[in-house]
Structure 1
Amino acid sequence: MRVKIVGLHAPHAPRLRTLLGEGHEVEALAAFPPTGEIRADAVITNSLSTDEAARLHCRLLQVPGAGTEQVAMQALPGTTTVCNVHGHEVPIAEFTLHAMLEHALQLWSYPARLDAEAFAGCYAARPQHDEAQGKTVAILGFGHIGQEIARRARAFDMHVIAVTRGGRQGAAELAHEFVAVTALDAVLPRVDTLVVCCPLDDGTRGLIGARQLELLGPKALLVNVARAEVIDEQALYEALRDKRLGRAALDVWYRYPKPGQPPVAPSRWPLHELPNVRATPHISAITPGLLDRRYRFMADNLGRLQAGQPLHNVVFQSPVTRRENPDRRPA
């Protein structure tokens, strides 16, 4: 079986070869060729333009992450199935809890070095910090990530509000309240932390704007581990700059560096310079455990493809593929 692994994940080709074993050809490419057909049994990439999709001939497009918004689905040939992979929910949930605890403990207010000179002053005027217990956290998007965050927040005796598209009631052990996204504005004034972990699509792009940030207020924390564009870029900067929003932990950005192009700041606005912003370079999920889980999953899916078995995590099938493979469903 021929597999192409393209882009940021190309350096992990040796890991995939080891997992697949003999009889598989794994080719690592920094980028797709600018012209000509792209042929393989399977392609692993998290970005595919309309032009590249039109030149693609493969049975499986395996996205090495959860987000598929950078893949031109509708331009894919009729014989291609698209699958994604999770496994990132645990480290992202831990990152989010760290952000919430840091906000409560206000660790930034203490001296970086507790030497003799600093100790005398700060001990006499020790600032009070807050507690996580009893605080209210709204989790926008309650899939794999949102539920793992909820489990950990509940362990700290926090009040959890799950915000979903339809507000359908879920497991009581995960959240105290389930509300529809249409009720978000009514919920925000009583929220201490808003965690954004929903997919980016036409319905969520710009969902959090100036009004929603105003409703959160000057003591609230905003954590974004989803996609930057869920939050209006200028409104976010202005709310934080003017301290109408308390703090933000931002791990996802509006602009990313690209090979062969000049360096870019993560936002058109200097968010990273604000003292009430914790800016991290999209690292919340990146752990050795994540890579191990994801590559084992993808190797298993490639084995299923070769054996003609139903694939896991199917997120897109063309009508042609569905007719030819009626038993191939998400697992």
Structure 2
Amino acid sequence: MNTQPLKIVFHGQNAANFRHGFEALIAPEHEVLDLSDALDQTGERAHYESADVVIGIKLNADMPQSLKARLFHAPAAGTDAVNTALLPAHCTLANCFGHENAIAEYVIAALLMRHVPLARADQDLRAQRWTYWAGRPTALRTELGEQTLGLVGFGHIAQTVAGRAKAMGMRVHVANRSPISHAVVDQSWTLDGLHDFMGSCDAVVVCLPLTENTQGLIDATAIAAMRPDAVLLNVGRGAVIEEQALYEALKNRQIGGAVIDTWYQYPTPTQAECAPSRFDFASLDNVLMTPHMSGWTSGTVRRRQETLAENIGRLSRGESLINVLRGPLT
């Protein structure tokens, strides 16, 4: 089948992460260009406006219009920074996943740290302290497999986490917008039962994207419904958990702790470093803070490149696209 040559632009530093080696995955007749975040270099605005495919993570009123674009492809799952009202009517919006394996490993690793204190045992033994020596009643530790894991949302990430958790022997509970029936789910609630769900778990993992309906979903009341020794993990989007409510619950030791990978403030092209929140989470000893790293592996990059290339190939051949979030309006 003949393929139509396409002009493809990678917009910004985030998209550039998926650029290396990309030509090897697509037909040679396509044109691929790299554009800066600001689109302020000579000719960049014209290239952006005339592209058939835009690969990027944001679209807002301060940017030029992608007038010709038939496909706006996010190189990640989240598209909350894409104003869909600014997309051309003939343009498809698609996204990528491929990060679920990495995030599932992160979640299990973070949970295991709370039950298998290898670093503390090593540190103590180097100082001749046999803190966790078998045979001492005070050295007993807990087991992850005895715990109940709660998942808020049940998309790609949560389903993969659930499979890993089951392999560890955990019970799996789910809260989701629609009812869930799945082989690895022991009990599920719809979101009107969120508080009962929160109280049923030893660990709650937030896996939701950020939308108007999910922003602040895990608020002070939802956190108050958790068990006092339970841990809250966020690998979805920061603002799904209400920022001040989370900080105060941890500061007041209302819950057992938190593992936070997705935040409320991020570096920008003009500010390379910043605090992840307006609240001083760094001063708390019951939160594990990581810099939005849970899904960032070489495997994730490769799988997302393959999705981008697959959709570009399909578009050039006139075939149906995958991972479509919004199809053409005309």
Q: Same fold (TM over 0.5)?
A: yes
1:226 and 2:231 aligned? no
Quick one: which of 295, 302, 306 aligns to 1:292?
Answer: 302
Q: Aligned-pair distance for 1:56?
A: 4.0
User: SS at the partner of 1:133?
Assistant: helix
Structure 2 unaligned spans of 5+: 1-5
- Give the 5 Å matches for 1:1-331: 1-7=6-12, 8-33=14-39, 36=45, 38-52=49-63, 54-107=65-118, 109-110=120-121, 112=123, 114-115=125-126, 117-119=127-129, 123=133, 127-166=139-178, 168-171=179-182, 173-261=183-271, 263-320=273-330
> Per chain length, whose mean CA-contact separation is higher, i.e. which structure has more relative contact order (CA < 8 Å, sep 6+)?
2
Distance 2:93 2:190 in 1: 29
Deviation of 1:18 after TM superposition, in Å, equals 2.1
What is the total number of aligned residue pairs between the two structures? 317
Decide whether aligned partners of structure 1 residues 223 and 108 sit closer, same or farther in structure 2, where only a CA change above 3 A counts: farther
For 2:167 and 2:230, how far apart are their aligned partners in 1? 20
**What is the distance in 2 between the residues matched to 1:77 and 1:319?**
9
Matched residue SS, 1:254:
coil
Q: Matched residues in 2 for 1:246 and 1:142: separation?
A: 24
Distance 1:227 1:145 in 2: 12
CA distance in 2: counterparts of 1:283 and 1:121, whole angstroms: 31
Displaced runs of 4 or more, over 3 A: 34-37, 53-56, 106-111, 120-127
Name whichever of 99-108 and 184-193 sits farther off. Answer: 99-108
TM-score w.r.t. the length of structure 1 is 0.89
Q: Percent identity?
A: 35
Compared with structure 1, are the counterparts of its residues 133 and 120 closer, same or farther at alpha carbon in structure 2 (3 Å cutoff)? closer
CA distance in 1, matches of 2:176, 2:156: 13
**CA root-mean-square deviation:** 2.0
Structure 1 contact 106–130 (Cα < 8 Å) conserved? no
Give the Cα–Cα distance (whole angstroms) in 2 for the partners of residues 83 and 22 of structure 1: 23
Aligned residue number for residue 323 of structure 1: none
Contact 2:79–2:95 (8 Å) recurs in 1: yes
Deviation at residue 251 of structure 1 after TM alignment: 0.7
- In structure 2, do the counterparts of structure 1 residues 53 and 122 end up closer, same or farther at CA, with 3 Å as the change threshold? same
Contact residue 201 and residue 227 of structure 2 kept, 8 A: no
Shift of 1:257: 0.3
Distance (whole Å) between structure 2 residues aligned to residue 295 and residue 192 of structure 1: 36
